[in-house]
Structure 1
Amino acid sequence: MPTYDASTLLPLCAGLTLLGLIGSWFAWRRRGLAAGTRGVAWSLLPVSLYMTGLLKVLWEVVRSVVSWAAHLIFSPTVWAGVALFGVSVVLYVVSGVARGRSPKEKAQKEKAQKKPASPAGQLTTTGPAPASATTAKAAKPSKGKAKQQESSEFDEIEDILKRHGIN
């Protein structure tokens, strides 16, 4: 890639600005003030970049990115690194799946399922089972009953609001 040369880029930037200003004049005549003004704004950029020194910075950035991309594409070492990264990701995912299927967890789940529920008040290894544990399970209302209770509560609230004149 060619190097940055200020003496070559000044006429190039001035020419781009001049062409842009001519195009902006035609845009102003055909499409109006807004299009012409926008064209002038874009036309002044090349000379302003040159005068502030940002054109040199932009040139170096583009040159560095192109060099990096060429190195990335044509280097076997880089592609070996990309392959190792892929293998690493696959191994990490496989380890997560294997972790969920560990034999210790299966054995613990089977023991928990085989363990019989102790009746209320009976002594166990952790102490007596609370009597409220079995009655709480039996006293749970079904979903249909819960919805009926909620709707009846809302009906009561609506009646109270109507009595007070609030709709």
Structure 2
Amino acid sequence: MIAETICAAVSAAGLGIAAVTAYRRRFLTAAKTAAYALVPIGLAMTGVVKWVAHTAFSPTAWAGFGVLAIAVVLFLVTRAVDRRRGTTRKQRREAARAAGREAVAPDASAPSLGAGAAPAARTAAAATRPQGASREQSEDFSDIEAILKKHGI
């Protein structure tokens, strides 16, 4: 009840100031002042003031605010620990992406030739390829890797 009375008094004072401002021919300022002055009485009439008053004096509400404060403190502490370790969210995301790119079974995409044919096929392919070709291919791939690293890919 006292909160509504205070809101009405504040609104009446604000409307009085708006009237004086309008008398001085500053209509735009008077209109803004009147708008601000009507807010407290509007809040009192809608019941928001009563709700806030009940919340302010409620032990349950204050316990809820305490729980929220503990949650915020936990968030801040975990963030500080992460920063102290040197791991950022970006680094963890990049590590997860790198882990996801590794093949689970690298030979799964190779054609199945049977258990005895696989080593023979590899040695035959190595014998037909000249020795300089493997060196050139590794240099080509290193150039490509350097270009990709340069562009952040």
When normalised by structure 2's length, the TM-score is 0.44
Higher RCO structure, 1 or 2 (CA under 8 Å, sep 6+): 2
Q: Max radius of gyration: which structure?
A: 1
When normalised by structure 1's length, the TM-score is 0.41
